[in-house]
Structure 1
Amino acid sequence: MLPPDFPSAPAARNRTTNPPVAPLTWPVAWHQPAFRVRLLLVLALLLALASQLPGFFAWVQARPGYHLPDPLLDWLPAHDVSEATFAVIYLGIALGVTTLLPRPGRLLRALWAYLLLHLLRCATLWLLPLEPPPGLVLLQDPLVDMFLYAAPTPITKDLFFSGHTATLLLLALAVPVGWRRWLLLAGTVAVGILVLIQHAHYTYDVLAAPLFVWLAWRGSRWVVRG
């Protein structure tokens, strides 16, 4: 069943008649066998996936792909905005993680959604080989380049869909309603615009990200409730 800090739709409608349920705390959550199993399993799966990503991205980079017509990028001059992009991304991640850590129910669902999001992205990258957009200015992300992209050349073909945009949007869904969610939504829009200015993604990559975030978020609810 869902953790107490994920009220169902009927429960949300009956807030006026039912007393509020206290948020799930770590001591309570950890004493639930189902919670421990789901948490340890998703952490193990994320580590296993991370170990396979360098080879996968090297394969993605090596194979030929297709160029897509993109009128917006044809009109938009390319500029290097790497510093602004990753400032927004890492500040957003810091805000999301610090918000979720004291909330084990939300954190568990966010981790499963993040795993599903990465699996969906691997599937779309496998199914849709693309060449980078014309005028690409290479994004400089030392953390990701060091730990995930083990290739002799920079990875520029991990395009559909935009993982940068999707990550912040997923965090926006995971945190409670309030100023943090609005701030993360604003960060999502900013990152989507910045990666287009960088010509690091096609417009389609950015516009498709919300759909896959929604699929991952819905799927995570099924896993947590199952």
Structure 2
Amino acid sequence: MAASSAVTSSSPAPAPTWPQLWRQPAFRGRLLGILAALLLLGAVIPRFFAFIQARPGVVLPDPLLAVLPAHDVSGLTFGAIYLSVAVAVVYLVPRPALLLRALWAYGLLHLLRLLTLWLLPLEPPLGLVLLQDPLVDKLFYASATPITKDLFFSGHTATVALLALAVGPGLLRRGLWLGAVLIGGLVLVQHAHYSYDVAAAPAFAALSYWLAGRATSGASRRY
């Protein structure tokens, strides 16, 4: 009996459910706040990208891209991205505490990208082959010309790296990290990013995830 009690007491507590967390004002406030912020970002981003596209920048030397032939791999790139997002969302939606932190991290990641894009005006890499995104190009990149200066840091790579952190340890996290590596390699094959953009992406994903943990602490206490 004592051994059974010890095993029971050492078992991890179940994760809080949506009904449990929704009763907490702190959780509701943080969830509704980040959803409103993401909607606001969606309204601001098209004008911001039109601004950076019109602004002159500099071309960086990139020894890796110099020896890497450019190819159009848009289909494979966005197939990997949208598959990664779909799998992660299916995992996160039933886990509201993890989902809340992931949403905050995603919003913070976009704010960091807006900051770095504003601070580092760049011209696209030599040999660029335009990425053709069937969804985002229509919704967010509303510009008379293609957006090619959305460079430092790679949002495609960083988003999947962030999802790998958000889902927690396990097989899914390892799969998403592999997806992030694949996507980073594919955007380099396309010459859509400098190698520096891709190399920096996981660090910004980790920073966003850490900041989100600070922002959401106390909003999902366990029962």
TM-score range, shorter chain: over 0.9
Shift >2 Å, 4+ stretches: 15-19
After superposition, give the CA deviation of every residue in 1:65-101 in whole Å (9 maximum; x if it has no partner): 0000000000000000000000100000000111000
Deviates further, 71-80 or 17-26: 17-26
Greater shift after overlay, 101-110 or 174-183?
Answer: 174-183
Number of the residue aligned with 1:131: 123
Kindly indicate whether residue 198 of structure 2 is the aligned counterpart of residue 206 of structure 1: yes
Counterpart contact for 2:88–2:167, Cα < 8 Å: yes
Q: Secondary structure at the match of 1:161?
A: coil
- Check whether the contact 2:109–2:208 (CA below 8 A) recurs between aligned residues: yes
The answer for the alignment partner of 2:138 in structure 1 is: 146
Counting matched residue pairs gives 212
| Offset of residue 16 of structure 1 | 10
**What are the ranges of 5 or more consecutive residues in structure 1 without an aligned counterpart?**
1-14
TM-score by length of 1: 0.92
Match of 1:65 in 2: 57
Identity of aligned residues (%): 63
Matched, 1:89 2:55: no
Q: Deviations over 1:175-215 (max 9, x none)?
A: 13222111101100000000000000000000010111111
* Paired amino acid for 1:137: V
Aligned to 2:4: none
Distance across 1 between alignment mates of 2:108 and 2:146? 25
Letter in 2 for 1:156: T
Matched, 1:49 2:21: no
Partner Cα separation in structure 1 for residue 8 and residue 155 of structure 2: 39
Whether contact under 8 Å (2:165, 2:206) holds in the other structure is no
- Alignment partners' CA distance in 2, 1:128 and 1:156: 14
| 1:142, distance to aligned residue in structure 2 (A) | 1.8
Q: Name 1:8's counterpart in structure 2.
A: none
Q: How does 1:110-129 map to 2 (within 5 A)?
A: 110-129=102-121
Pairing 1:185–2:170 present:
no
User: What CA distance in whole angstroms lies between the structure 1 residues aligned with 2:132 and 2:214?
Assistant: 36
Separation in 2, partners of 1:20, 1:171: 23
In structure 2, do the counterparts of structure 1 residues 70 and 16 end up closer, same or farther at CA, with 3 Å as the change threshold? farther
Decide whether the 8 Å contact of 2:124 with 2:148 is kept in 1.
Answer: yes
Corresponding residue SS for 1:141: coil
RMSD across aligned positions (CA): 1.3
**Residues 47-73 of structure 1: CA deviation (Å, up to 9, x unaligned):** 011100000000010000000000000
